[in-house]
Amino acid sequence: MAPLAFTVLTTELTGSYRLGGVMMTVFVLAELAGAVPAGRLLDRIGPARGLMLLLTCAALALGGLATAAAAGAPAGALLVLVAVPGLIAGGLSGGFRTLLAGTVDDGLLTRAIAVDAMIIDAVLILGPVLVALLTVADPLVPLAVMALAYLLSAALVPRGLAPPRPDTGSGGRPGVPLRAASCWLACQFAIGHLLATIEVAPLPLVQRLGADAAAAPLVIVAVSGASILGGAFYAWRGARLRATPRWQATVLLCGFVAGGMVVGLDLGWPGLLLGVVLIGVCTAPLLTVASVQLQRLLPERRRAEGFSLSFAVQSTGFGLGSLSVGVLPLELAPALGVFSALAGCVLLWTSAPLSPVDTGE
């Protein structure tokens, strides 16, 4: 909801959407800066308690932003205020993923993560629609609804979960195994990078085919809908696949490579839709494989930090993909995403074997 909500708000206040774009950039940069510190906080005080605290603070921060906007605060003040919920929200993804790990049995984890990815894709489609409907009442209403959503999430956080076991031994808390996790983090970077070249560029992609702006949402619906279908299939059959996680990730990254190459070429509507569907259908399964394998590697007391780091890595990929859309010719932007997917394949097969559970070998 945030990108369109900020754009609508600033268009109403200033007559231009540009301040909204800058606000979203500040929000995302603040998320990246706050992700790992917030994850460490969640590891120390427990994910359930920490999430309730962060969600409540994020709701209050958004309420303050809406109040300042209603009072006619200058652009500089809005940019400062929007950074506050961004810093807080950076750790939410890692916190919820840690909470999921402690809530779902190991045998159902793959299915649960795939369903979670499907829900996120559905929100990506429905969120802007909801903002558009709420804006009819007032441009400030979407911000108020976002704040209420944070409060509702805080109320729904399960409170009965046992906290992580305390550390034993004299070595202190084990660190996040970055070297071992590099291949799975590379997969998540590739997801963010290539998706950005589609989700940020629907308008130029359809204009290249001679269509008008009204056709741009079709690209988003196609990639998100395909991801939902891919996630549904993986939730149904993923745990029964005989291929090892490394092979599964390799095949899915190859789907990214094929889809990105097709999108980069000007092959008309069939080529564009085929490319975005290929990328979409591989997204949720690849995210699931990488997330499950990352959990196998993370120490229990560092899960929130590790998952927050993975969120930051994926968001960095998305940011670089967005930048490439802005500065490169349209056919070259997906090519960089393809390169990221190929680099992920290389890391999958050159990184040291981790364990039989991790590699499936």
Tell me what pLDDT residue 167 has.
47
Averaged pLDDT for residues 88-95: 87
Q: What is the CATH number of the domain that holds 268?
A: 1.20.1250.20
Averaged pLDDT for residues 156-165: 67
Q: What percent of the chain has pLDDT over 90?
A: 24
53 and 92 co-located in one domain: yes
- The percent helix, strand, coil of the chain (3-state, each to 5) is 80, 0, 20
- Please state, in angstroms and rounded to a whole number, the distance separating the CA atoms of residues 170 and 156: 37
260 and 191 co-located in one domain: yes
253 and 215 co-located in one domain: yes
Sign of CA dihedral 236, 255, 126, 57: positive
Residue type at 319? G
For the chain, give the longest Cα–Cα distance: 66
Is a pLDDT exceeding 70 seen at residue 360?
A: no
Looking at the 3D structure of the chain, how many domains does it have? 2
In a domain, 161, yes or no: no
- Please state, in angstroms and rounded to a whole number, the distance separating the CA atoms of residues 35 and 16: 30
Averaged pLDDT for residues 36-42: 89
Cβ partners under 8 Å of residue 267, min gap 6 = 274, 275
- The pLDDT tens digits of the residues spanning 101-123 come to 778 877 788 888 888 888 887 88
Is a pLDDT exceeding 50 seen at residue 202?
A: yes
Averaged pLDDT for residues 17-33: 81
Tell me what pLDDT residue 279 has.
93
- Please state, in angstroms and rounded to a whole number, the distance separating the CA atoms of residues 47 and 19: 34
45 and 146 co-located in one domain: yes
In the structure encoding, which two tokens stand for residue 220, read together? 């988003």
Is a pLDDT exceeding 60 seen at residue 21?
A: yes
Averaged pLDDT for residues 97-101: 84
Is a pLDDT exceeding 60 seen at residue 4?
A: yes
137 and 182 co-located in one domain: no
In a domain, 163, yes or no: no
Tell me what pLDDT residue 163 has.
55
- The pLDDT tens digits of the residues spanning 285-343 come to 999 999 889 888 888 888 888 888 888 898 888 888 877 877 778 888 888 899 999 99
In terms of pLDDT, which residue wins out, 25 or 163?
25
Domain that holds residue 276: 178-354
- Please state, in angstroms and rounded to a whole number, the distance separating the CA atoms of residues 160 and 244: 35
Tell me what pLDDT residue 261 has.
92
Split at pLDDT 50, 70, 90, the class of 358 is: very low
